[in-house]
Structure 1
Amino acid sequence: MSQAHDDHGHTVAAWTAVGITMLAFLVGCIGVVIVSPTVFWIGVALIPVAGIAGKVLALMGYGKQS
């Protein structure tokens, strides 16, 4: 039932996108806890940055090789 997986997509591009996404959610959560709409929206604004950074790094060759 279980199959061996040679690659789970562990790349610099993927981990960078995940790291920025985690930071964005952390900033957003802190904004909610301290009741600061500005901090919350900064966290929200960082989410697309994660996708853009991941895509740019993948295009630069740091993503999964086909």
Structure 2
Amino acid sequence: MAGSSHGHTPAAWTGVTIAFIGFCVSGAFMVMAQPAGFWAGLGVVVLGGVVGWVMRGMGLGQPKDAHNALVEQQREPASVKS
């Protein structure tokens, strides 16, 4: 995946960072036995996905055809055994 720049976009970094913070908040409140904080943390996780999706829609994500073009470029032709 390193050759395809998978996830190396502002949309991906922002969405994952927000979701990670929500995961940490949710985990901390779960340990403290506070259900309201746990659910609030899960809400932040969902918010991270929404923010990443919106940023991708604004053009800050990887274009759809960029991955397919790179895969086709790197693919080696099959050899025929005789």
Report how many residues are paired: 64
Which 4+ stretches in 1 moved above 4 angstroms?
Answer: none
The one-letter code matched in structure 2 to 1:20 is: I
TM-score with structure 2 setting the length: 0.69
Output the CA distance in 2 between the equivalents of 1:13 and 1:37: 30
Mapped pair 1:17 → 2:15? yes
Q: CA-to-partner distance for each residue in 1:41-64, whole Å, 9 max, x for gaps?
A: 101111221111001101111101
CA RMSD of aligned residues (A): 1.8
C-alpha deviation, 1:4, in angstroms? 6.6
Partner of 2:72: none
Distance in 2 between residues matched to 1:4 and 1:47, nearest whole Å: 25
* Equivalent AA in structure 2 for residue 38 of structure 1: A
Structure with higher RCO (Cα < 8 A, 6+ apart)? 1
User: Gaps (5+ residues) in structure 1?
Assistant: none
Alignment of 1:23-42 (within 5 A): 23-42=21-40
Q: Percent identity?
A: 38
Gaps spanning 5+ residues in structure 2: where?
Answer: 66-82
